Structure formats: C-alpha cells, structure tokens
Structure 1
Amino acid sequence: MSIIRIPGDPPLEVTLRRSARARRYSLRVSQLDGRVTLTLPQRAPEADGLAFVREKEAWIRRHLSDRPEDHVVRAWGTVPYEGRALPLVPGTGRTPQLREGGLAVPGPAEDVPPRVLAFLKTRARARLAAAADGHAAALGIGYRRLTVREARSRWGSCSSRGDLMFAWRLIMAPPEVLDYVAAHEVAHLVEMNHSSRFWAVVGGLMPGYEAPRAWLRANGSALHRVRFGD
C-alpha cells in the first residue's frame, strides 16, 4: 500500500491498495474513520490512479463533509463508557480511577488521552473475560484463549481452535451490548455458523439479545469515531 496526498483545504490523504481481482478503479470513504481508499488493478499505473482521484476529488470531499464528526477525547471533556458520557476530571496517583464525579485522570492534560485509552482497554478485557467465562460455564464448555484488540471490521470472532477475540471499544457501549457480543462468540464454540441452531444457543445464553444486537448495528460506527487526541 502507498499513500498519495492531494493539496487543498483540508489536504486529502488517499491510501492506494492494489488487488489482483480488481478490474477497475474504486473509491471508498470509511464511515468509521474517514479513511479514503482507492483500489486499483494490480498492474494499473499509479499516475492513472492519481488522475482518477483528482477527477473524483469533489465526490470525496462531499462524502467526508457528510460524515459525522469524531468524538475527540481530551482533558477535561468526556469519554463514552458503558453507554454514558463519562466526565474526565483531574486526579492524583498513577492510574485513572472511577469516582462519583467521573473518571479521575492524573497527570498533565497532554497525558489524558493515552491514559484514558489504557484504562478503557484494561476495563474491556476484564469485562469481556468475565462475560465470556460466564457464558462458557453456562454451556459447560471452555475456550482456549481470549484477546482484546482494535478491530475495525468485526466486534468479535471465534476461531475453530476455540480462540476468542473481541474489540476493546465494546466497553464504550451499554453493558448489555458487550454481554451480547460475548454470548455471540461463545455460542460459536458450539455452532460455528449462523444457523437457527446457533441463534437458539445465543437466545439461551441471553434472552432478548435482539435489542443489544440492534443497538450495535445502529450505533457501532459511533464507537469507531472516538479518537484519543489529535
């Protein structure tokens, strides 16, 4: 992959991605993070790709302007946490602590975004592990390993070896949404498909899962628009 830059106000950055299956140029503007990607055939000249981007510049800028604004976490604003806007307030000590008035974050203002991010990832792992453990115990089965990471394309996954993966950003959603994703992936330990049998397992673990599933479909992109610092 390579990046081309188009001058303007603001300048545009376009990621070039070559694909052996591509037969024509195609542009995509991500609603998650505003990333602009041009996919071009394997042997297409880069100069032709640049010309195509310039031709579509107005289209790109229109789509970027229509995209909802990012939520940038800064001192002393707010951060989404378990479905609510959690105020960030000055704190003491070495690590952020939940207080009645919000999340108390120690250190200077420039250290707030990375410390809040670390706090969220730690909380996400603990909550997801607890949820997965509970659902696995309800089924009388176990899993091999659990990882939590940044994931753009899916909220969770279950491998054929029994490894579970979850997106840490689920900690920003309401608790029942996180619990639904945990139940969904644990159910794959029994049914590695999305058949009626699979959904019956999910429903047994979490009756009423349809509501948090709908919430995630409607609001999940907003979780990806939370950024930590400029």
Structure 2
Amino acid sequence: MAGLDPLVLDINGQRAEVTVRRSALARSMSLRVDAVRGIVLVLPPRARQADALHFLYSHAGWLSERLQKLPQALALCDGAHVPLLGRDHLIRHHPEARRGVWAEDGEIHVSGQADHVGRRVGDFLKAEAKRRMTAKAHDLAARIGRKPSRITVKDTVSRWGSCSAQGAIALSWRLVMAPEAVMDYVVGHEVAHLAELNHSPAFWAIVARLGVDHHGGRRWLKAHGALLHRYQPG
C-alpha cells in the first residue's frame, strides 16, 4: 500500500491532516480515525484527488465527531503524570539539581532547564525501555536456544514489535509505560518469531513455553494501547 502526500482539511474550523494511502486491494474509498495516525484515507488505484476531497468533505460531520473523541496529547512537563511499568508517576522539575533524570517513589525527577524537561523525560523513558526490553529479549531468546541479530527500540506506529527474517527485533519504547507483564508479552512474542516466523501452532507453543501472558497482554493493548501514544516528549 503506497503512501501519498497528505491532505489538509478545515473541519468546522479545525485544521486536520489526512494521511492518504492508495491500495491495489481497495474497491472503494474508506476512512478511519485513530489515536495514532489521526485521519487515514484509503483510495482505490485509480481514484482521483478531486473525488477524494469530495469524499472527505461529505464525511466532515463524522470526522469532526471522531476527532473530538480522540484522547488529547499530553506533554511530559513539570507536574504532569506519566506511567512507568503501568504505575502512574508525577514529573517533578529540580532546576538546581545535577542528577539528570531519575525515578523514585512514584515520581520522575528531572534536573536542568525547564525547556528541556519533556525531552529529558522522553529520553529517560526510551533508555529504560531499551535497557529492560533488551535484557528481557536476550533472556527469553536464550531459553529457546536463539539469539537476536539486533534489538532496536523506536517509536513504532503500526505495530508494538516486529522480527525480521534475519533475526532483528524492533520494539516500541512506549511499552515501558505499560504494565511489565504487557511489555514482557510483546518481547516474548517477537522472540518466538526467532524460531517460527509465522503464527502457526508451533509459534504459539513457543510463546506458551516462554511463560509470557499472551491473552492478558493482547487484551490490555487492545483496551489501552492507543492511550500510550498520547504522551508527547518535548
């Protein structure tokens, strides 16, 4: 499915960017709105841009209603709350401190200038995600006699994790905000792909052997996963 240049709409005075994708499988235009990508318009191969705009504006009321229901973006600033391993933490800024960023007793403390608080908290969360998920991935992989060729932690959008045919595992840093069992499930899921690059019964048998909570992890991400994307580092 190829991406096209985004479109910008004015919906009841609200500026909204639309991600446009053309799909060889699509027989008609379709719209969806979610907390991660916003508005996504899928077009059939030969659809014209003029027709796409008409389709969008004909659904302006529906789009406006759906956009208003999306969770609001949350800045990682002094006084804000952000989850770490599923536990809510209060962000506290200490301009006089020289300790960097550290978590303690349900709080995330940040030294340095106020303008850098969001970025520094984001960097802290990403580093925690990298440290914890890398260690977990190597531990689980050793249990099945495998070893990842590479582990990267980034801000993935479409999937919480992936594993390539070459054994490279990619994981979303935002999982560090979920309960630890949820984070472990995603890591275990991708590690199982080191042995079975499919979703066959043999794959699910490996997931079960790794002891991660497959059913609970999937349920939690389906119910709460989109909310993890509302936190915006500076």
Name the SS for the 2:22 alignment partner.
strand
CA contact 2:192–2:203 (8 Å) conserved in 1: yes
Q: CA RMSD in A?
A: 2.0
Using the TM superposition, name which of 36-45 and 47-56 deviates more: 36-45
Q: Tell me the distance in 1 between the aligned counterparts of 2:213 and 2:19.
A: 41
Matched, 1:25 2:29: yes
Name the SS for the 1:11 alignment partner.
strand
Q: Tell me the distance in 2 between the aligned counterparts of 1:136 and 1:43.
A: 46
Matched, 1:48 2:51: yes
Name the SS for the 2:146 alignment partner.
coil
Q: Tell me the distance in 2 between the aligned counterparts of 1:228 and 1:221.
A: 16
Q: Cα–Cα, structure 1 residues 220 and 164, in superposed 2: closer, same or farther, change >3 Å?
A: same
Residue 66 (structure 1) shift: 2.5
Mapping for residues 83-102 of structure 1, pairs under 5 Å: 83-91=86-94, 92-93=97-98, 95-100=100-105, 102=107
Residue 121 (structure 1) shift: 0.8
CA contact 2:20–2:43 (8 Å) conserved in 1: yes
Gap regions ≥5 residues in structure 2:
none
Gap regions ≥5 residues in structure 1:
none
CA contact 2:80–2:90 (8 Å) conserved in 1: yes
- CA shift digits 1:190-230 (9 cap, x unpaired): 2222222222211111154432332222221111222235x
The aligned residue for residue 136 of structure 1 is 141
The aligned residue for residue 161 of structure 1 is 166
**Number of aligned pairs?**
228
TM-score, normalising length from structure 2? 0.88
Corresponding residue to 1:185 among 185, 190, 195: 190
CA contact 2:20–2:42 (8 Å) conserved in 1: yes
Name the SS for the 1:141 alignment partner.
coil
Q: Tell me the distance in 2 between the aligned counterparts of 1:149 and 1:101.
A: 25
The aligned residue for residue 60 of structure 1 is 63
- 2:56 is matched by which residue type in structure 1? V
Q: Tell me the distance in 2 between the aligned counterparts of 1:175 and 1:97.
A: 18
Q: Cα–Cα, structure 1 residues 57 and 164, in superposed 2: closer, same or farther, change >3 Å?
A: same
Q: Tell me the distance in 1 between the aligned counterparts of 2:187 and 2:106.
A: 29
The aligned residue for residue 224 of structure 1 is 229
Residue 123 (structure 1) shift: 0.8
Q: Cα–Cα, structure 1 residues 40 and 207, in superposed 2: closer, same or farther, change >3 Å?
A: closer
Q: Cα–Cα, structure 1 residues 13 and 93, in superposed 2: closer, same or farther, change >3 Å?
A: same
Q: Cα–Cα, structure 1 residues 18 and 197, in superposed 2: closer, same or farther, change >3 Å?
A: closer
CA contact 1:114–1:228 (8 Å) conserved in 2: yes
CA contact 2:100–2:112 (8 Å) conserved in 1: no
CA contact 2:93–2:117 (8 Å) conserved in 1: no
Q: Tell me the distance in 2 between the aligned counterparts of 1:126 and 1:217.
A: 25
Residue 118 (structure 1) shift: 0.8
CA contact 1:3–1:15 (8 Å) conserved in 2: yes
CA contact 1:75–1:110 (8 Å) conserved in 2: no
The aligned residue for residue 124 of structure 2 is 119
Aligned-residue identity in percent:
40
